[in-house]
Amino acid sequence: MLTTKIITGKILLKSGLHIGGNKDTMQIGGIDNPVMKNPLTNMPYIPGSSLKGKMRFLLEHYLNYVKGDGKIPGLTVDGKVNKIAIIFGHLEHTENSSDTKPTRIIFSDCNIIGARDETGNLIEDLEYLKEKMLSNFVEAKTEVAINRITGTAQGGALRTIERVPAGVVFDLHIVLKNYEESDESNLEIIKKGLKLLENDALGGSGSRGSGRIEFLDLKVDGASIDLNSVQL
């Protein structure tokens, strides 16, 4: 019997976020790496696929499913059921078989709903925020490669990336499907995935400070959940 769990909440950017989009034009001194934007509103958003892919990556490494050869784990790992493949889906074609599992989880795209002010309050007036930021919820961050011998900036290695600035808040909506009684434990795995994501980074340049996030007002079917109680 199919049942569903609806996970809702907010994503607060604790540092600038860069999830790369398409660059339509070339401009001297312009942005080298723009962020993903909705083509109708020109507003940045977080693709559901980015959240799903990063969470799956973190969970597979946390559970030691990824071995030294780097191959994608199958439906079983070390003789045990691969719960991550069951939840996130699996497709594997070989000459002798075709192992497939449909995904049990759906991540919606996350749209901007506001930003936190200096006092920590959420401002939801997007037009006011655009005027205050003097931009469409984006900032430019310049980076440069360092010469390992001289310790100075390396010529020709200057680049400018576009980021959604810290303080911006996105909505969060996840649907988790349960087909069997054993699927009831899948929610606890997703909670661990959310916690792992908070401890890591989303998007590009994570090792250089970008992509730090915090989940706020998390609920499952309307009931609050606290990631601080999740043990890793």
- 3-state SS, residue 196: helix
Q: In the chain, count of helices (H) and strands (E)?
A: 4, 14
Q: Which residues contact 53 (CB under 8 A, 6 or more apart)?
A: none
Which ranges of the chain does DSSP label H, i.e. alpha helix? Answer: 48-62, 83-88, 126-133, 186-199
pTM of the model: 0.85
Q: Which residues contact 113 (CB under 8 A, 6 or more apart)?
A: 10, 124, 169, 170, 171
96: domain range? 3-22+39-127+165-229
Predicted local distance difference test score (pLDDT) of residue 2: 81
Other CB atoms within a 10 A radius of the CB of residue 120 amount to: 8
Predicted local distance difference test score (pLDDT) of residue 212: 96
What is the number of structural domains in the chain?
Answer: 1
Mean pLDDT by 10 residues, the chain (232 residues): 91 93 46 81 94 94 82 76 87 58 91 92 91 82 67 65 92 91 84 96 87 96 93 89
Predicted local distance difference test score (pLDDT) of residue 161: 82
Distances (CA, A) of 11 to 75, 170, 213, 217: 31, 5, 7, 9
Residue 143 included in any domain: no
Predicted local distance difference test score (pLDDT) of residue 112: 96
Predicted local distance difference test score (pLDDT) of residue 226: 93
Predicted local distance difference test score (pLDDT) of residue 25: 42
Predicted local distance difference test score (pLDDT) of residue 27: 43
Residue 67 included in any domain: yes
Predicted local distance difference test score (pLDDT) of residue 29: 44
125-131: long-range contacts at Cβ-Cβ below 8 A with a sequence spacing of 24 or more?
Answer: none
Residue 14 included in any domain: yes
